[in-house]
Amino acid sequence: MIAGLDSNILCYAMDPAYPEHEKVSGLLQNLSPDNAVALNPTVVHETYHILVFYLKWFPQEAAERLTKLMRHPHVQFFNQTRKTTQIALQLSVKYGLGGRDALIIANFFANKVPIIYTHDNELLKLNKITRQDTHITFQDPIN
């Protein structure tokens, strides 16, 4: 199974300073064909921003670690497209999502990722969203 990662979960998994780190670090440490994760540009750049501008990582270190992660054989990286943006706009209207959340979710919808791991209470309240005949479920790997 593959699970999409929201930027908050990726930050927790990458930085041991977070109290949540121990609960989610296995997501990256135990990557395998049966335990793959998905990322996209919005998640990677939100994570970079948090690591560098809030957690004060050196920009080079953050960039190198994120690049290395994207190259891991059990990390799927999905690009943004015009279709992704159109889906995001539809989801924004239907579910009242902000732009970045909508882009993250739309990207995973377009690439048939069934689960997104997040710690975002607004997304967790939705539990599941549907588009056409598919849905994505939100799960908190910390709880």
**How far, in Å, CA of 54 to CA of 32, rounded?**
31
Q: Classify domain 2-139 by CATH number.
A: 3.40.50.1010
**pLDDT level of residue 22 (50, 70, 90 thresholds):** very high
Residue-level pLDDT at 143: 87
Strands 128-131, 134-139: pairing kind:
antiparallel
Tell me how crowded residue 79 is: count the other CB atoms within 10 A of its CB: 10
Contact 97, 60 (CB under 8 A): no
Q: Which residues lie closer than 8 Å to 40 by C-beta, 6 or more apart?
A: 4, 77, 78, 79, 80, 103, 104, 107, 108
Domain segments of the chain as ranges = 2-139
Reply yes or no on whether the pLDDT at 137 is more than 90.
yes
Mean per-residue pLDDT, 122-133:
95
Q: For 28-83, how does the pLDDT look when each residue is reduced to its tens digit (9 = 90+)?
A: 999 999 999 999 999 999 999 999 999 999 999 999 999 999 999 999 999 999 99
Residue 99 has phi, psi (to 5 degrees) of: -60, -45
**41-49 vs 7-14: helix axis angle to the nearest 10?**
50
